[in-house]
Structure 1
Amino acid sequence: MTTSQTSVSHPAEYTELLGRLATVHDLHAASAVLGWDQMTYLPAGAGGPRGRHLATLTRLAHEHFTDDRIGVLLDSLGPFESSLPSDSDEASLLRIARQDYRRAVRVPGSFMATFAEHQSASYQAWAVARPANDWEAVTPILERTVDLSREYAGFFPRTAHLADVFVDEAEPGLDVASVRELFSSLRARLVPMVRQIIAQPRPDDTFLTRAYPVDTQWQFGEMVARKLGYDFERGRQDRAPHPFTTSFSRNDVRITTRLSETDLRFGLFATMHEAGHGMYEQGVAPGLDGTLLGSGASSGVHESQSRLWENVVGRSRGFWKWGYSRLQSTFPGQLGDVTADQFYRAINRVEPSLIRVEADEMTYNLHIMMRFDFELALLDGSLRVTDLPEAWNARFKDDLGITPPSNQDGCMQDVHWFASPIAGQFQGYTIGNVLSAQCFDRACEVHPSIPTEIESGEFGTLLSWLQTNLHALGRKYDVNDTIVRATGRALTIEPYLDYLRDKFGDLYDLS
């Protein structure tokens, strides 16, 4: 690893630290491979052993990272760090390593192993129970997740809310109060627009639910991902019940999607979304690969990249000026009688929906705000797991005017609470939405040709700007610093609201 400014001589202690941290990284990467396999190809009967494998790797990684020698090395390297520019790779690594180490030593390795094994079993139970709409099967499992999440939070100093621990892990530098402030200001501006739009006639989208052979969808989706810039020489796409992206190194970043023969939108936009995540991980600077800095800055910053490619680009009129003729020729029987304008209006139809990942851009954030509030309530005990379905349905009715007909399409729909701790899982999606518009605006300020290039199917200028100004930074800086470095200003909702008003004002009456 070399400094981002000049080459420097590394003390022996720094070299030793890099070696120890590389071992920790490799253990996490091995665990990630098993996690990817669990969500894609794991045989149904292999769940128990897989949970033990993950628990062992999690415990070993934690023990290696919390070894006293790591603390000694970090302390001894203080003078070396002080001699470096604060934004050098070495100084950033030492800063992040010290931050992560201080957090990790608070948590026993045995607890980390227990939680990892529980999460593996929880995911496997959810994957069976959700299609069967069997809420009772996962209720005790989710109760255990809540208990373990509270126990984890208890290892840290008391804060204003138990969820602060998880929010800060997902979005370094943020807490529950700052997320609530963001959500409150956004909701106040968003809800009136949503109400205005849903009172108006909606465009026809029935042609999107004609029969679309999944193999052909797969081929078209991979073509689009490759065209956007996702490198299949350093990645691959597979199918999963819930689309996700995982990275073992910048040279092995894998995406997944899900396909529906009766809805073209599912696979197409899931692939574009995950390709956005994948391009972020593939774009981390080579010198950061295999270190604590070799990943995204935060959940929200990561989501800004997936939402930018899925929505700001992928649902734009400009993108489909290039893409629609190709899609239409791929599915002539399904889209031969549909114009490009009809298609564009259909994929941007605003209508309250049951499923978060299928929600339109105008209502999507209401799904996120609801989940964030439920996480806080579950964690602080003001909402019991057994009461979650009723609370979910009531909030859904209040916010979106519809009631889920089943728990399968209600509180069981997301994988997050069945594969991760409770809290800190959802706020990143809205932060990502807001930041996606801010990033795109800044890129277009620097390169005004980007919108025209998109219309011609050229995405290299946009991707190159993102790689240079955001992806390459990896995890060197906290959320706020990363955003300022990339866009020139702190996170603000104004570009996102302008984007929504401009886009949907062209489709609906927002006067």
Structure 2
Amino acid sequence: MADHQQQYDALCQEISEAAKLDGIQQLLEWDERTIMPAKAGTHRAEQVSLLAGLIHERRTSAKVGELLASLRDSPLAEDPHSDMGTTIRVLSREYERDSKLPQALVVELSKAKVLAQQVWVQARSGNNFPLFRPQLDNMLKLMRETADAIGYAESRYDALLDYYEPEAKTSEVAAALTALKDDLAPLVAEIAQSGRHPKMDILKRDYPIALQEEFGKRVAKEIGFDFEAGRLDVTHHPFCCGVGPHDCRITTRYDQNFFPSAFYSTLHEVGHGLYDQGLRSDQFGLPPGLAVSLGLHESQSRMWENMVGRSYPFWRHYYPELKKLFPSLGDTPMGDFHFAVNDVRPSLIRVEADEATYNLHIIIRFELEQALLSGDLPVADLPGAWNEKYQQLLGLSSDDDADGCLQDVHWSAGLIGYFPTYSLGNMYSAQLFDQAAIDLGDLAEMFRHGVFMPLLDWLREKVHQPGSCYPAPQLMQNICGESLDHRPLLKYLRTKYAPLYGIEH
């Protein structure tokens, strides 16, 4: 046992050092997407690719492989959900996967991601898809090579999806999203046919950016984000990254004449940040100190953004302060403001989509990226295919690729397989929110009085602290007594929209 303990400590040392290198890489990428000078891009790509190679080399070294082989059948691994058992189990799985990737491919891919994101910024700002097309072609080539090196049972997409939702299969995710779409369509139709519409001009008045930032930071702090262990900055596409224990970076983007843009992107990223800040720092870089899946991560961001931040009790608490900050609201009743931030109508922009149509945006991307990865959809045909799907599912199309296939940063960053986790997160969030209400009592009454810590503490205990000790489906079973189910999300949406639109509860 002593030998096994020494081997385990040596394994943790190797992986922890790799995690520190990864934190440095995350910091460089944060800097690139927030404050890096434009001309520094090429050298930044060299820096990031060097680090990516070092991290891959350390995590897939012969030493790590030997330590895992010695520990896999040891007494330390007997309980697969203990901290030690989880570390051995998860690292063994990741080692087997990542060891199949050639070092040269890892380095090339990391460099390509940095360069592609820089071109994407230029292409989006200039509405110039042809500028970005060679970068996307190259990124897809590298992602195909990655998937083929790893291997897959059913589809090439499975190999990439696994990075974000471990052990999930494309066919399973497609079935879950289809069931969700089939039940969402009637709800969206009922709302459209209701004839009710909020006064959207409320949100398009003058909202000075400095005051938006002040209000967003205040709310973030009051729902639990620790600004002594994190910060908020501006970027082209909001994101959250964890540099290390007590260093969580979140970002947003502001529009002086559209209040929801920054406020809800801030709340979304705060949700991610709360998860990162809730992980156990003594297990940093090791599976017990890491989020179990992107679906669970997204459940946190979507819960705080929507189930908390768009709720009537939330605005009963914060609206008086909002009116003091922004004179443009005048004597606008709180009910009108609440209706406006819960407006349901098809739109082109995913990050500004309402809760009812949001998942249709995800389904479009999920289907398109599978076709791009397989080669069935040539990159040159992406703008047309994008508009065709938007016309089919949302009744909209645009000649402006900046609001079309260039609106998201994900593909430029090689995040193929990431998009479906947003919808998984929406479904998980509704199930978790229901269970929290059962365990904690009247959440609405708490929010009305600005009391958010009971919910955060519950999430810390149930979701954050376990880290990756249980796979996502099992963790959901442990917390809620049920597996992934879209019906709680539909129930939540109907309950919210029934009084606003006069539809069936």
Q: Same fold (TM over 0.5)?
A: yes
Out of 274, 283, 294, which is 1:288 matched to? 283
Q: Separation in 1 of the partners of 2:3 and 2:272?
A: 34
Out of 37, 54, 58, which is 2:52 matched to? 58
Q: Separation in 2 of the partners of 1:10 and 1:461?
A: 40
Q: Residue 452 in 1 paired to residue 445 in 2?
A: yes
Asked if the contact 1:295/1:474 (under 8 Å) is kept, the reply is yes
Deviations 1:259-315 (A, max 9, x none): 100100011111111100000000012332232432211111100000000000000
Cα root mean square deviation, aligned: 1.4
Asked if the contact 2:435/2:480 (under 8 Å) is kept, the reply is yes
Counterpart of 1:499 in structure 2 is: 492
Asked if the contact 1:81/1:90 (under 8 Å) is kept, the reply is no
Asked if the contact 1:21/1:292 (under 8 Å) is kept, the reply is no
Partner SS for 1:39: helix
Q: 1:58 to 1:293 in 2, by over 3 A?
A: farther
Q: 1:296 to 1:108 in 2, by over 3 A?
A: same
Deviation of the 1:135 alpha carbon: 0.7
Out of 261, 267, 276, which is 2:262 matched to? 267
- Match for 2:216: what amino acid? G
Q: Residue 35 in 1 paired to residue 2 in 2?
A: no
Counterpart of 2:344 in structure 1 is: 350
Deviation of the 1:9 alpha carbon: 9.6
Asked if the contact 2:4/2:71 (under 8 Å) is kept, the reply is no
- Higher mean alpha-carbon deviation, 157-166 vs 110-119, is at 157-166
- Higher mean alpha-carbon deviation, 180-189 vs 290-299, is at 290-299
Q: Which runs of 5+ in 2 are unaligned?
A: none
Partner SS for 1:325: helix
Deviation of the 1:449 alpha carbon: 3.1
Counterpart of 2:467 in structure 1 is: 474
Deviations 1:111-162 (A, max 9, x none): 1000000000000001111010011100111011111111111102342211
Q: Separation in 1 of the partners of 2:480 and 2:248?
A: 25
Q: Residue 103 in 1 paired to residue 80 in 2?
A: no
Out of 293, 317, 326, which is 2:321 matched to? 326
Partner SS for 2:241: strand
Partner SS for 1:506: helix
Counterpart of 1:218 in structure 2 is: 213
Q: Separation in 2 of the partners of 1:94 and 1:271?
A: 36
Asked if the contact 1:280/1:302 (under 8 Å) is kept, the reply is yes
Counterpart of 1:306 in structure 2 is: 301
Q: Separation in 1 of the partners of 2:180 and 2:235?
A: 32
Out of 369, 372, 395, which is 1:378 matched to? 372
Asked if the contact 1:245/1:256 (under 8 Å) is kept, the reply is yes
Q: 1:499 to 1:328 in 2, by over 3 A?
A: same
**Structure 2-normalised TM-score?**
0.97
Counterpart of 2:253 in structure 1 is: 258
Asked if the contact 2:80/2:89 (under 8 Å) is kept, the reply is no
Aligned residues: 503
**Pairing of 1:75-90 with structure 2 (within 5 A):** 75-81=69-75, 84-90=78-84
Deviation of the 1:173 alpha carbon: 2.2
- Match for 2:10: what amino acid? E
Out of 453, 466, 489, which is 2:482 matched to? 489
Deviations 1:331-362 (A, max 9, x none): 1x211221110000000011111100000011
Partner SS for 1:221: helix
Q: Give the structure with the higher percent helix.
A: 2
Q: Which runs of 5+ in 1 are unaligned?
A: 1-7
Deviations 1:391-435 (A, max 9, x none): 1111111111111230010000000001124x3020010001111
Percent identity between matched residues is 37
Q: Separation in 1 of the partners of 2:285 and 2:144?
A: 31
- Match for 1:136: what amino acid? P
Out of 34, 40, 46, which is 1:46 matched to? 40
Asked if the contact 2:220/2:267 (under 8 Å) is kept, the reply is yes
**Structure 1-normalised TM-score?**
0.96
Partner SS for 1:254: strand
Q: Separation in 2 of the partners of 1:155 and 1:472?
A: 33
